[in-house]
Structure 1
Amino acid sequence: MFRSARHLLASLVILFLSLPAVAQVSVTSGNGEGTVAAPVVPEDLTPDQVDGLVARMSDDQVRALLLERLDAVAEKQAASAADHEDPITEINEIWAEMVASWTHVLTTLPNIFSKQAEAFGNFATTFGSTGVLVLLGLVISVLAIGYVAERLFGYLTRGWHDQSETQTEADLWGAVRYLFRRFCYEIAGLVVFYVVIRAAGRAMLTPDQITYAAPFVFYLIWIPRLGAAVSRFVLAPRKPHFRLVNVDDHWAKYLHRNLIGLLLLIGLTLFVLRFNALNGVTGEDTRIGFWLNAAIHVYIGVIAWTARAGLSQMMLGTDPDRTRFDEEVAHYYPYFAIGVSVVIWLLVEFLVAQNDPAILAVLVHGSHFTTMFWLLIAPALDTLIRGLVRHLQPPMSGEGPLAERAYRSAKRSYIRIGRVVAGLFVVFMIARAWQLDLRHVASAGVGAEVGGAVIEFLLIIAVGYIMNEVVSLWINRRLAKEQTAAEALDEEAGGEGGGAGGSRLATVLPLIRVTAQITIAVIFGLLALGALGINITPLLAGAGVLGLAIGFGAQKLVADIVGGIFFLIDDAFRVGEYVDVGGTMGTVEKISVRSMQLRHHRGPVHTIPYGEIQKLTNFSRDWVIMKLKFTVPFDTDPNKVKKIFKKIGAEMMEDEVHKDGFLQPFKSQGVFDFDDVGMIIRGKFMAKPGKQFTLRKEIFNRVKAAFRDNGIDFARREVRVAIPGLDETDLSEPQKAAVGAAAGEAVNQQVNKP
């Protein structure tokens, strides 16, 4: 029995803990007289080999092997716990490192001048006092040669630049063309300058001299001049009539001057750090980088605070359709710039406190300045996007309030798409500055590091959002055009119903939009969850079960949806058409997946599920016949009336305002009926749906005028009193009329007596 227990214990140890470590350990026996070494356990044991090994092991050997495995597990757990420290502890450690770094800054403050003098001394030792002067003279000579070449290039091409300025029109595109040509002109000059000094430097300087001269030229001359060209393109400080941004002359000149000063300070910082490194003085010796970097961030804060009115004015832009969000961004942008400067400064201090050579090498190349640049320019890119959308957006489709709302909605869609694209661009540029390839991180997929999963998640969400906006934008533009035409027809109908309605496309597009948005949201939502490492298979299975439950428990809903699909396939109705559904009449105002809404011309809205529609009558399809009745006295000549109707119909068919509404002209149908007042003569015409009411009003007006001109009265009810013998009396005509009037008044009183 003891042997079986020992056999089972050894098997569990070997198979369950299965670590491929093989070591010899000593275990003191209970009597303290000796040690027992754990046996060597080979890898990839078969069950038969395990049985054979256990059979040869003693109890002490089993205990030794168990202790060895338990110690290995404990060490692994301790290492894992050490890698996952408490967040509060990590924060305290980070703070302690930063405090230690700042303390070191204060302790090395007296060494700044001495160490800097040491750097210059090492530089002088490397080249000698004469060599330093020679190097300085050669650098000045190379710069002079480059400057002369640049001025010569400007002189040879001045005619093109002057001609472009004189031919520029005083509008937006004219300003853009002029500024872009001037910018290209300046960049071409800088390229000539760079090529010439590079060629001259290689010819006149030794490789060691180039090593020292290149950072000076790049950081203190090339970068500030390039930044000045970009600033002149954007701010146009001396060309206010060509300025692209909404800022006055004072702030344009102020920002231009200080941007150049800021670039000079940044270049000086990078050059000093590079110069000290070449001359044997590290950043730990003087910490001069701390003071120069702090000066840069203080300078940024001073610029943003002083020019906050100009920056807000510039960020607000000139677009009249700006939203409250745009106004808030413009108002808080100066404070955002100050906050970004502070955050980047703290980030740099944190990275410096880590004292990692790889990170310090990246900082020396100015990655934090690049990051700060793109973060500060991101809101400016938003202003640029709004300006471009304002001038590049296609013109408004149709007229009226509906078209204006659609136009503004499309503008916001373009702006949102531009914001997402600009945000992705800024993120990629910042990652590039830190030498981080986001594509490789994101392509690692599910199960990779948390950073890769988050990046992949954000990219999927961004792509899905852009696709949703593009689909919605296209559908909304088409829908706005169709609905504007339907709105015009409804106005012509005078609110009486029976309008032509919208097209079939206008009816189907809202359903397509909803379906597309739901599809995009579901697909990209599942992909995004998968990118975070969430298993979406249970979600898909749950959705299938839910769909099955809905199919069994909501048969009426399924019937409504299927009925609506076939109604749309049959093109039985469209949005804007006037229909009768089982006695419920109204204009189709809205359709959904399961029901339609009818708006009665007096205001009530009826919601009717598709499954309840047994018969649908459409009053707005293809053509409409209007029949008009006119009551005239019995002695009226019907042929004369027929000629009048025919003439009115011919005139309206030639009228530019009304001829397009007719399918058949207005004409007489002759005497339709008699009543106790007179003859009823009927006329008819065939018109396009929605045009019939406007044409009917015009026909009534013309018939009334034509009857008046031809001496034809409309029949009206009247009471005639016959007085026997009145015609045989000797009374005059006025007297007979007075008697008749008195008799008529007496009859009226008798009739009206209660």
Structure 2
Amino acid sequence: MPVFTRVSALSCRITYWRKAGALLLLGCLLVMPSLHAASLPYLSKLTAAAPATPAAPAAAAPSATNGNPPSPADEKAAYAALADILNNDAARTELIKQLRAAAQGQPSQAAPLLAPADEEKDTPTLLDSVTDITRFYSHAMAAKLNTLSKNITSAPQHTFNRAVFMLALSRFALLSVATFAFYFFCRWLVTPLLHRLGRWGHTANDKYKSGVKRISAVFGAFAVEMIILLAAVMLGQFLTEYLNADSRTIARQLSLFLNAFAVMELFKTLLRMIFCPRYPELRRLPMSDKSARYWNHRLSLVSGFIGYSAMVIVPIIANQINTQTAALVNFIIMLATTAYVLWLIVRNKRNIQKELEQFANRSLAFFSVFIRAFSLIWHWLAVAYFVMLFLLTQFDPGNSLKFMVTATVKSLMIISVGALISGLLTRWISRHITLSPDARRNYPQLQQRLNVYVSSALKICRVLVVFAVMLLLLDAWHLFNLRNWLTGDFGARIVDALLRIFIILIFSALGWTLLASIIENRLATDAHGRPQPSARTRTLLTLFRNALSVIISTITIMIILSEIGVNIAPLLAGAGALGLAISFGAQTLVKDVITGVFIQFENGMNTGDLVTIGDITGVVERMTIRSVGVRQDTGAYFIIPFSSITTFANFVRGIGSFVANYDVNRDEDIDRVNQALRDAVTELMSKEDIRPMVIGEPNFGGVVGLTNQSFTVRVSFTTQALKQWTVRFTLDGLVKNHFEAAGIRPPYQAVQIISAAATRNNVDEAANDGLPPPAPNA
């Protein structure tokens, strides 16, 4: 509806100067009563041309058409519309122009736009958000305090009827006595049963079974207590039908008691299940019987006093007497109880902290972190809890207490169930899967891989349990709406993404396990004694398994990134460009890879071969697509890139051979030396452990070397690969024994010493003979 219609309707409602200070424009129009009537034609004239202002609702339309005075809602809408116009400089200037034009009788050529111009909406900062939240809760607190003040100062008085009060009191006392008597009697009857449940939970010898039985015993005891509580509530409901005396007031008071009884005794049941003061066999907390009885008694007393006071006594006083007295009684009760609880917290702060730290030392590492953190802040949480309880019960004693008790019960149950599930997961994490001997022989790495998968999955589930417990706790205290979050778009997307990621990880793990197990089965011997594959096959299968792990891991990561909303197209393009840049800058690496591939396909060397690469001789321990690792007999481990290998020697290709040369004194008889050598070789070939290593017959070379002091005899052997050293070392020992037995002497170096006089005489004799002097013997 046009804004000036609303303004004219509003001006009809405002008399004289009452609203002149708040609305500047209407003040100018209402300078005197005579101008009030004169302004209406011009406003009506502008109304026909002025467009509607979005800020003002259309509820003011009837007041402009039929002349009826506007309602308060219409006034508020008109105020808001006019305030929006006056708050904007452009709209205010345009409004003044139209008003002046209307005052001068100038017709409007076009429909004026009096709606406020759109302003740029600034993004709210963190400070603005905090300010808005603080303002909201401040207004809410002020409203609560205002309501409380009205209840205390101006609450209606009730007529006190002594007869009705005494009748209600007698019926109330009869119901409470009967309900409590039945409840405590049933609890006394099941005492032997609870003791037997506790003893049954400690009978298992196995640690895992013992934990499950103890937890089952605790839940069984809780179920028994809940059945008794339900029976007591049902008895109370049955008695209420006969004790209400057809009075709604008495029936309401009896219902208040039953509600309080159900809520508070449920809370006390949870306390008894936690502390188990009378049944130490069921207690899960590591505390003494004295401490358990102390805290159970104190907390039960405080909770019962608060609950029955706020949920029964205060409402009855408010109904029978007045609200002021009820509010005063509630304030005194809650103040005294809060002061007592704060005194308990301060008094037991250090003791509880020490007990929690000791409990953390005995707990598993996962729970120890949470227990230690809780030991540092437990007193602050307890103080905040009871201070909040005190404040809330001052505004709405019954409902606020129900909320606090319900939230507390939910929190205890959530934490208990979460701790139970986390404890079971932790126990399962420490357990291992054991396969049969045949499965372990055929698939050597399968058992270890399955244990890693199960352990990782259980750890992830344990983290999810902790996260779920936190969300449920926030939901229990109405700080977070879990249902709306799960059914909303954001929560549904997160849950859907988590499920998809879980399925992707499962299929990736299954695929990798299947392929790796097939490769490992080819690398291992089976139960029927199948021989191991060749070294070349083992090397190629190992490289293929490593390549598969890289490929599957890369594909899995890419799919997971795409599932969580990451656009992997730029990532793939960047990876391609990066790979191209790396290929230009890492030519040596490319050369290593290509050379390694050809060496593998040519079966040049394999793991376990004895090779000589350059000046390095050793056993090949590890081969990758880029390098080879060689272990020398000294223990040194060398990593040699394939690109640096030009030539290499492999000692395990086909056969092995060696040539044995033995030097003897030149004065020995050749036939006797050869015969001793043949005897040594004959003894060597007669050895059962040496003969299979020798291929064919040895080859005797006879005399192959002659010097002034010795001559050399030779024999050569062809052996199996890598067996030449064993045969050579054995032969050397036998030759030494046979040479010594035959008296064959080894060569030695002779040195002749000639005196100077003898040398001079020899020179003179040579001069006399005209012959050159003989050369001295070396």
| Partner of residue 687, structure 2 | 644
- Cα distance change, pair 256–674 in 1 and its aligned pair in 2 (3 A): farther
Quick one: which of 594, 597, 600 aligns to 2:630? Answer: 600
Q: What letter is aligned with 1:39? A: A
User: Counterparts of 1:79-98 in structure 2 under 5 Å?
Assistant: 86=128, 89-90=131-132, 93=135
Distance between the aligned counterparts of 1:512 and 1:127, measured in 2?
Answer: 85
Contact 2:622/2:629 (CA < 8 Å) preserved in 1?
A: yes
The residue number in structure 2 matching 1:265 is 302
Please say if residues 497 and 563 of structure 2, whose CA atoms lie closer than 8 Å, have aligned partners that are also in contact: yes
**In structure 1, what is the equivalent of residue 108 of structure 2?**
61
Q: Find the partner of 2:353 among 277, 299, 308.
A: 308
Cα deviations by residue, 1:113-136 (Å, 9 ceiling, x for unpaired): xx9xx99x98x9696334423433
Post-superposition shift, 1:188?
4.0
Cα distance in 2, alignment partners of residues 565 and 39 from structure 1 = 88
- Cα distance in structure 1, aligned partners of 2:263 and 2:252: 18
CA distance in 2, matches of 1:330, 1:505: 47
The question of 1:183 aligning with 2:218 is answered yes
The equivalent of 2:257 in structure 1 is 213
Query: 1:617: Cα distance to partner?
Result: 11
Give the whole-Å Cα distance in 2 for the aligned partners of 1:204 and 1:552. 87
Question: CA contact under 8 A between 1:340 and 1:376: conserved in structure 2?
Answer: no
Kept after mapping to 1: 8 A contact 2:472/2:482: yes
Contact 2:519 2:545 in 1 (8 A): yes
Q: Secondary structure at the match of 2:694?
A: strand
| Aligned twin of 1:388 | 427
Q: Which residue of structure 2 aligns with residue 684 of structure 1?
A: 720
Amino acid of the structure 1 residue aligned with 2:382: S
Q: C-alpha separation between the residues in 2 aligned to 1:270 and 1:590?
A: 75
Assess if the C-alpha contact under 8 Å between 1:579 and 1:618 holds in 2: no
Cα distance in 1 between the residues matched to 2:270 and 2:185: 18
CA distance in 2, matches of 1:618, 1:475: 40
Q: Which residue of 2 aligns with 1:366?
A: 405
Alpha-carbon distance in 2 for matches of 1:523, 1:670: 67
The CA deviation at 1:671 is 2.8
* Secondary structure, counterpart of 1:262 in structure 2: helix
Q: 1:210 to 1:519 in 2, by over 3 A?
A: farther
Is the contact made by 1:316 and 1:383 (CA closer than 8 Å) also made in structure 2?
no
Query: Are residues 669 and 436 of structure 1, via their aligned partners in 2, closer, same or farther at CA, if it must alter by over 3 Å?
Result: same
For residues 83 and 717 of structure 1, do their structure 2 counterparts lie closer, same or farther at Cα, with a shift above 3 Å needed? closer
1:193–1:244 distance in 2 versus 1, CA, 3 Å:
closer
2: CA distance, partners of 1:359 / 1:141: 24
- Is 1:421 the equivalent of 2:465? yes
CA deviation vs aligned residue, 1:468-506 (integer Å, no higher than 9, x gap) = 9979998999999999999999xxxxxxx9996685785
Give the alignment partner of residue 197 of structure 1, picking from 232, 236, 243: 232
Q: CA offsets per residue over residues 718-753 of structure 1, 9 Å max, x none? A: 999xxxxxxxxxxxx9xx98xx97x96554999xx9
8 Å contact 1:23–1:38 — kept in the other structure?
A: yes
- Cα-Cα RMSD: 6.9
Is 1:334 aligned to 2:375, yes or no?
yes
Q: Kindly tell me: are residues 515 and 150 of structure 1, through their superposed partners in 2, closer, same or farther at Cα, counting changes over 3 Å?
A: same
CA distance in 2, matches of 1:406, 1:202: 57
Change (3 A) 1:541 1:556: same
Q: CA deviation at 1:307?
A: 1.9
What is the DSSP-based 3-state SS (H/G/I as helix, E as strand, rest coil) of the residue aligned with 2:267? Answer: helix
Aligned letter for 2:639? Answer: V
Secondary structure of the residue aligned to 1:670 is: coil
Separation in 2 of the partners of 1:566 and 1:135? 97
Q: Give the number of aligned pairs.
A: 604
For the Cα contact (< 8 Å) 1:630–1:714, is it kept in 2?
Answer: no
Q: Which has the higher contact order (CA 8 A, sep 6+)?
A: 1
Write out aligned runs for 1:498-509 (5 A): 507-508=546-547
Q: Is the 8 A contact 2:274 2:284 kept in 1?
A: no
Q: Which residue of 1 aligns with 2:280?
A: 238
Which amino acid is the alignment partner of residue 605 of structure 1? I
Q: Does 1:634 align with 2:677?
A: yes
Separation in structure 1 between the aligned mates of residue 591 and residue 108 of structure 2, nearest angstrom: 76
Q: Report Cα offsets for 1:20-47 as digits up to 9, x if no partner.
A: 9895778999x9994532436899xxxx
CA shift for structure 1 position 190: 1.5
Instruction: Provide the secondary structure at the position in 2 that maps to 1:679.
Output: strand
3-state SS of the aligned residue for 1:66? Answer: coil
CA contact (8 A) 1:420 1:462 kept: no
- State the alpha-carbon separation in 2 of the partners of residues 126 and 87 from structure 1: 57
* Counterpart Cα distance in 1 of 2:583 and 2:217: 70
The 8 Å contact of residues 313 and 330 in structure 1, kept in 2 or not, is answered as no
Amino acid at match of 1:214: L
Report the residue type matching 1:336 in the other structure. Answer: I
Structure 2 residues not aligned, in runs of 5+: 9-24, 30-37, 53-101, 242-250, 526-534, 663-675, 702-711, 754-776
Matches within 5 A, 1:560-579: 577=607
CA separation in 2, counterparts of 1:165 and 1:375?
Answer: 23
Look up the SS of the partner of 1:65 in the other structure: coil
- Equivalent position SS for 1:671: coil
Q: Structure 1 residue 37 and structure 2 residue 76: aligned?
A: no
Q: Percent identity?
A: 10
The one-letter code of the counterpart of 1:310 is: E
Match of 1:519 among 540, 543, 558: 558
What secondary structure sits across from 2:678 in the alignment? Answer: coil
Give the letter for the 1:205 counterpart: T
Alignment of 1:431 onto 2:480: no
The CA deviation at 1:382 is 9.7
Residues 1:40 and 1:577: Cα distance change in structure 2 (over 3 Å): farther
Matches within 5 A, 1:585-596: 596=626
Q: 1:667 to 1:580 in 2, by over 3 A?
A: closer
Q: Cα distance, 1:418 vs. partner?
A: 0.6
* Superposed CA offset, 1:626-669 (max 9, x none): 75769697314767645534x579xxxxxxxxxxxxxxxx5531
What amino acid sits opposite 1:519 in the alignment? M
Residue 661 of structure 1: aligned partner? none
1:223 aligns with 2:267: yes
Residues 83, 552 of structure 1: alpha-carbon distance in 2 compared, 3 angstrom cutoff:
closer
Matched letter for residue 630 of structure 2: H
- CA change 1:367–1:640 in 2 (3 A) is same
Q: Pick closer, same or farther for the CA change 1:163–1:520 going to 2, 3 Å.
A: same
Paired residue for 1:727?
Answer: none
Matched residues in 1 for 2:300 and 2:752: separation?
104
Deviations, residues 407-440 of structure 1 (Å, cap 9, x unaligned): 8998577435412322223313431452954242
- Kindly indicate whether the alpha-carbon contact (under 8 Å) linking 2:429 and 2:459 is maintained by their aligned counterparts in 1: no
1:371–1:643 Cα change, 3 Å: same
> Can you list the C-alpha shifts for 1:54-109, whole angstroms capped at 9, x where unaligned?
xxx99853676312x238x68xx99x99999835745775796799799999999x
How far apart are residue 571 of structure 1 and its match? Answer: 9.7
Instruction: Give 1 or 2 for the bigger CA radius of gyration.
Output: 2
8 Å CA contact 1:674–1:680 kept in 2: the answer is yes
State TM-score, norm by structure 2.
0.56
Aligned to 2:666: none
User: Aligned AA for 1:203?
Assistant: F
For the 8 Å contact 2:620–2:629, the answer to whether it is kept is yes
For residue 317 of structure 1, what is the aligned residue in structure 2? 362
TM-fit CA distance, 1:169: 3.5
Provide structure 1 residue ranges, at least 5 long, that are not aligned to the other structure.
1-18, 44-56, 446-452, 490-496, 527-535, 650-665, 686-691, 721-732
* Distance verdict in 2 for CA 1:358–1:236, change over 3 Å: closer
- Rounded to whole Å, the distance in 1 between the matches of 2:484 and 2:390 is 28
**3-state SS of 1:605 partner:** strand
**Residues 564, 190 of structure 1: alpha-carbon distance in 2 compared, 3 angstrom cutoff:** farther
Pairing of 1:431-450 with structure 2 (within 5 A)? 431-434=475-478, 437-445=481-489
1:512-560 C-alpha deviation (Å, 9 max, x unpaired): 564266336523542xxxxxxxxx7xx5664466466557766669999
Q: Is the 8 A contact 1:161 1:182 kept in 2?
A: yes
1:164 alignment partner in structure 2? 200
Q: Deviations over 1:438-459 (max 9, x none)?
A: 24234432xxxxxxx5x67876
